[in-house]
Amino acid sequence: MGWSPRMLPFASCLPGSLQLWALLLLLLGTAYPQDSEEPDSYTECTDGYEWDPDSQHCRDVNECLTIPEACKGEMKCINHYGGYLCLPRSAAVINDLHGEGPPPPVPPAQHPNTCPPGYEPDQQESCVDVDECAQALHDCRPSQDCHNLPGSYQCTCPDGYRKIGPECVDIDECRYRYCQHRCVNLPGSFRCQCEPGFQLGPNNRSCVDVNECDMGAPCEQRCFNSYGTFLCRCNQGYELHRDGFSCSDIDECSYSSYLCQYRCVNEPGRFSCHCPQGYQLLATRLCQDIDECESGAHQCSEAQTCVNFHGGYRCVDTNRCVEPYIQVSDNRCLCPASNPLCREQPSSIVHRYMSITSERSVPADVFQIQATSVYPGAYNAFQIRAGNSQGDFYIRQINNVSAMLVLARPVTGPREYVLDLEMVTLNSLMSYRASSVLRLTIFVGAYAF
C-alpha cells in the first residue's frame, strides 16, 4: 500500500460496499474545490492533475492508465479526480466517477439544505450565496459595517474607525500630527485648520500664508504682507493711527518753528513755507527779498529812480536837489560858492539809499563813509548832522578819510531813517574848511530777513 503519492491513503483494498459509499461521498466533497477553474496563469497543478496547455486547465490524470498495476490482484482500478480507487470487482460503481466534467451538484430536493454553510438551494437546484447582511443574519455591532462574502460575511470598521474590543472606535487622527497648525478630530475623519493669516494648502494639511494685501486688507495707504499677517504703513508725511490701519496727516509745522524762515503751512502729507509780500522762496524754507527794481516789477516813472529795499521798493525823484542846490549828477546836488545862500550850507549833498533788516544784533556796522578826494595834510571829521534824534546811530572814525556808521540800538521795521552824514575837511596848512553831506536813507524792513 501507499506506493504512489497519487494514491489516496484510504484507496487500498476495501472489503465491503457499505463503507465504499461512505467513502465516495467524502471523496466528492473533498474533490469539489480542486475542480473549479484555475486562473490562466496558473500552471502548477495539485497532485493527481496535470497542466493541459490546450485547454489551459489542470486535467485529471488517469492513474489507472498511467500507473502499471495500479491495483493488484482481483482489485479493479477506478480513476477519480485527483486520484484513483482500487475496488473489488464485484463493487457497484456510480457512472459519474468516470466523467471529465465537473462533479454533479448535490441533489437538492430530497434534503431541505444540502448546500455548504452560507449557501442555500435555489429553483435551478444549485447553491447560491446567502446575503447575511441584507437578511439581518449577521451579528455585526451597530458601529460596524457588514460586508457580504461568498458563503459568509464580514464585520468591518468604517474608514477612520478602529476595532477596540468588539466595537469600532473613532480614530483620533489628530494624535498623528497630520496637520501643520491645528487639527479637529471628526467622527471617522479629521480636518486641518490654520492660524489666522494662513489658509489650507492644496493638500488640505499644510498652511500657506495669506497675502492679506491682495485680499482687501484695510490699510488706508500702504500694505505690506508678512508671514502670517500684514502691516499697514503710511506715506511720507502721514503717521499710522492707533487703529493700525488709517493714516493721519502729520502737522510738520508744529514740530519746529525753524522749518520755515517765515511761515509754515501744513498740507496733506507735507508742508510748505510761505514768504511775506515782497519776498520769494529761496530753496524750501528761506525767504529772499524780491528786487522789484531789477525784475521790472516796479511802477516808477521815467523821472523817478527805483530804490529797492527789504520787502518793497521806493520811487524817488531823480532830481532831489532843492534850492539853492543844483543837480550836478544823478544823486549829487551842489551849492555854488558864488551863491550867498550857500555860505553856511554844506557844499554838496549826495543821496544814498540802503536797506537793513529788523532785529539786527547791535552794535552793527551798517555803512562806511569814505572821502572821495584825499589831500595831503587834510583831516576829515565825520558826524551825524541830522536824522538821529533817537540816538539809534553813531559814527566811528576809522582814519582821516573814512568812518563807519554804527547802529547802536535794535530797530524793528518797517521804518525809515534819513541821516545827514557830514564830512568836515580841515586843512591846517591852507586854513581851509569844507563840509559835505551824505544824505543816507535807511529803510528798515519788517522782518529779520
Binding stretches for ligand NAG (CB under 6 A): 202-204, 379, 400
Q: How far is the CB of 346 from ligand NAG (least distance, A)?
A: 21
Complex with ligand NAG: residue 300 or 381, whichever CB lies closer = 381
Question: What's the grid cell of residue 262?
Answer: 517765515
Q: Do 178 and 190 contact (CB within 8 A), yes or no?
A: yes
Phi-psi region of 97 (alpha: psi -120 to 50; beta: other; left: phi over 0): alpha
The four Cα atoms 304, 293, 417, 449 give a dihedral, to 10 degrees, of 170
Reduced to 3 DSSP states, what percent helix, strand and coil does the chain have, rounded to the nearest 5?
Answer: 10, 40, 50
**Measured on CA atoms in the order 371, 373, 379, 383, is the torsion positive or negative?**
negative
The H or E element containing residue 292 is helix 292-295
Q: How far is the CB of 375 from ligand NAG (least distance, A)?
A: 8
Q: How far is the CB of 59 from ligand NAG (least distance, A)?
A: 52
**What would the DSSP string read from start to end of 171-195?**
--GGGGT-SSSEEEEETTEEEEE--
Complex with ligand NAG: residue 75 or 183, whichever CB lies closer = 183
- Nearest Cα residue to 77 out of 61, 67, 95: 67
Complex with ligand NAG: residue 95 or 203, whichever CB lies closer = 203
Distance CA 357, CA 37 (A): 123
Q: How far is the CB of 402 from ligand NAG (least distance, A)?
A: 11
Phi, psi of 212 (to 5 degrees): -60, -25
Q: How far is the CB of 173 from ligand NAG (least distance, A)?
A: 13
Cβ-count burial of 439 within 10 angstroms (0-12 exposed, 13-18 middle, 19+ buried)? buried
Task: Say how many CA atoms lie within 13 Å of 186 toward its Cβ.
Answer: 7
120 DSSP β-pair partners: 128
Complex with ligand NAG: residue 152 or 397, whichever CB lies closer = 397
Residue with cell 508725511: 237
Q: Do 286 and 280 contact (CB within 8 A), yes or no?
A: no
Q: How far is the CB of 379 from ligand NAG (least distance, A)?
A: 4
The H or E element containing residue 146 is strand 145-149
Question: What's the grid cell of residue 50?
Answer: 496535470
Complex with ligand NAG: residue 137 or 374, whichever CB lies closer = 374
Complex with ligand NAG: residue 41 or 399, whichever CB lies closer = 399
Residue with cell 511720507: 236
Please give the biggest Cα pair distance in the chain: 196
Q: How far is the CB of 374 from ligand NAG (least distance, A)?
A: 7
Q: How far is the CB of 424 from ligand NAG (least distance, A)?
A: 13
Spacing of C-alpha 147 from chain mean position: 53
DSSP secondary-structure letter at 406? E
Q: How far is the CB of 387 from ligand NAG (least distance, A)?
A: 27
Q: How far is the CB of 400 from ligand NAG (least distance, A)?
A: 4
Complex with ligand NAG: residue 95 or 373, whichever CB lies closer = 373
Complex with ligand NAG: residue 176 or 379, whichever CB lies closer = 379
Complex with ligand NAG: residue 202 or 340, whichever CB lies closer = 202
Complex with ligand NAG: residue 203 or 389, whichever CB lies closer = 203
Integer-rounded Cα Rg, in Å, for the chain is: 66
Q: How far is the CB of 184 from ligand NAG (least distance, A)?
A: 13
Complex with ligand NAG: residue 189 or 211, whichever CB lies closer = 189
Complex with ligand NAG: residue 229 or 400, whichever CB lies closer = 400
Distance CA 183, CA 172 (A): 10
Question: What's the grid cell of residue 67?
Answer: 500507473
Q: How far is the CB of 385 from ligand NAG (least distance, A)?
A: 21
Q: Do 231 and 245 contact (CB within 8 A), yes or no?
A: no
